[in-house]
Homo-oligomer: A and B are copies of this chain.
C-alpha cells in the first residue's frame, strides 16, 4: 500500500459510539493523518434506517443497509463493529475476519460469548481483532496489559469496571438515598439503560472481567463460572455501617491468580474497600483498574469508563494500530500475536513452553476463594439470637471479627451486622444457607465482601 493512499474504514452501526468515532475522526483529521502517516477515510456506514434524521449529516452515498456488505467489501480493510448485540455483530465480525480484515470492536458481550471462535478465525484467515474499547472506555488498559506490561505475570487485577453502578453507589453514599430512587434518576439522566439489569446485576462488569482474565491468564471464564453479585440489595444503612468500620462500598471486579496452585478466580460483587485504597475515592461514572504485575509492582489506571467520547478515543486508537499494521505489509503485531493463548488452544503446543503454563491454569474451587465478609441480617430482637447465629457460623469454621447491632424499623426486629475473619466462599455459602432458614432471621441476609488489597 502506497504511503499516500487514504485508508478506508467501514463503520457498522452509527449509534452513540459510531457517531463519536465519525465526529473525532473528522475533527482531528489533519493531526491524525500526520501521526499515522496516512489519511483516513470513512468509506461506508451501515445504518438500520438510512431515511432516519440524524444529528450528523452523512453523505447518502456512504450509507449501507447491510453491514455484511461492508464486512466483505474488498476496498475496506478496517471494519468497526459498533452495533452491539451478539447475533448480527457475530456474523459481521466473522465475515470480515474471514476476508482477512481488521475488525475493531467495543463489544464485550460478543468477545465474552464468542471470543475463542473470533480469535481462531482471525488466526486462520490472517485477520485481526482489536478491542481496546470493550473494557474501561478510554483507559488504554488492553494495550497496557498486553504490551506495556508484557514483561509481567499478574497475581492480582481489580477495579471498578461499570460506571453506572459506580454512579449509583456514589450517589447513595453521598446523599444517603435508597437504591431505587437513585436508579430512576440515573435512568432519567441517561446514565442507566431502560433495562438496567445487565449493569446493576454485575453482568456488564463480568463480561469485561472475562476479557481481562483472558488477556492476563489465557483462560476464557464465562460469567456463569464466576461469582457475580449485583448492587440491587445494598442499602444506605450498609454505607453507614461500612463507614463506621472505615470502608466505602464499590462494585469491584477481582481477578486473582495463585501461581503456586496455578488457579484463577474471577469475581464481580459489591465490596467494602478501605478508605485508604485510592480506588475507594474514585467516584461517579469513572472506572479504575489496579494491576499488580510480578515485575512492575502495582500500577493504577483511572478514567471515564463509558460515553461517546471516551469510547471513540479507544476505537480510534485501535484504528491507528490497524493502520500501522496495514502499512507494514505483514507486521506481526503485538495486538494480535503476543497475547497468551487461550487455554483450550494451548495444548496444541503452538508456541512451546509458554503454552504449557497456560494450559495448566484452572479455575479455583470455592474452597480456595477466601477473604473477610460483611453480613447483615434482620433478626428477632430477643435473647439468644446472637448466640444461635454465632454457633452456626462456628460450625462452618467462620470466625466473627465484629458485631454491630442497630435498631430496625420494626420494634420487634433488630439489624445485626457481623464481620468475619478470613473464611472461604464455600463455608460462607453454607453458613448463609443455614442462617436464611432460621425462624429468627427475617428475609434474606445480605453478604458483602471486605477487600483489603496488599498494594
Contact = CB atoms under 8 A, between A and B. Distances in A.
Interface of A: 24, 28, 30-37, 132, 137-140, 143-144, 147-153, 278, 281-282, 293-304, 309-310, 312-314, 316-317, 320-321, 324-325, 327-334, 337-341, 351-358
Contacts of A24: 151, 295
Given A137-B296, A140-B147, 15 more contacts: A28-B151, A28-B153, A32-B150, A35-B338, A35-B354, A144-B144, A149-B317, A152-B313, A296-B314, A299-B301, A300-B300, A324-B337, A327-B332, A329-B329, A329-B331
Contacts of A30: 352-354, 356-357
A293 B304 CA distance: 12
B320 A293 contact: no
7 smallest CB-CB distances across A and B, nearest first, come from A34-B354, A140-B148, A151-B316, A299-B303, A138-B296, A328-B331, A30-B353
A324 B331 contact: yes
Contact of A340 (B35, B139, B321): B35
A160 B69 CA distance: 49
B281 A293 contact: no
12 contacts: A32-B150, A34-B351, A35-B354, A140-B149, A140-B299, A143-B147, A149-B313, A150-B320, A152-B313, A295-B313, A300-B303, A331-B332
A276 B369 CA distance: 35
Nearest to A31: B354
A448 to B, nearest CB: 24
Q: Which residue among A24, A293, A296 has the maximum number of chain B CB atoms within 10 Å of its CB? A: A296
A276 B324 CA distance: 40
A358 to B, nearest CB: 7
B321 A357 contact: no
B338 A328 contact: no
B329 A310 contact: no
Contacts of A310: 295-297
A281 to B, nearest CB: 6
Contacts of A339: 35
Given A34-B351, A34-B352, A296 B302 contact: no
A302 B37 CA distance: 31
B334 A331 contact: no
A278 B281 CA distance: 8
A358 B143 CA distance: 26
A303 B300 CA distance: 6
Contacts of A353: 30, 33-34
Nearest to A339: B35
A28 B259 CA distance: 13
Contact of A338 (B299, B320, B329): B320
Given A310-B296, A331-B328, A144 B140 contact: yes
A150 B327 CA distance: 17
Contacts of A37: 332, 337-338, 351
A297 B321 contact: no
A219 to B, nearest CB: 14
A44 to B, nearest CB: 20
A131 B35 CA distance: 18
Given A304-B296, A341-B34, A317 B354 contact: no
A357 B33 CA distance: 12
Contact of A320 (B132, B147, B294): B147
A36 B297 contact: no
Nearest to A324: B334
A32 B352 contact: no
Contacts of A149: 138, 140, 313, 317
Contact of A316 (B132, B295, B332): B295
Nearest to A341: B34
Contacts of A281: 278, 281
Given A144-B144, A150-B35, A151-B28, A295 B320 contact: no
Contacts of A352: 30, 33-34
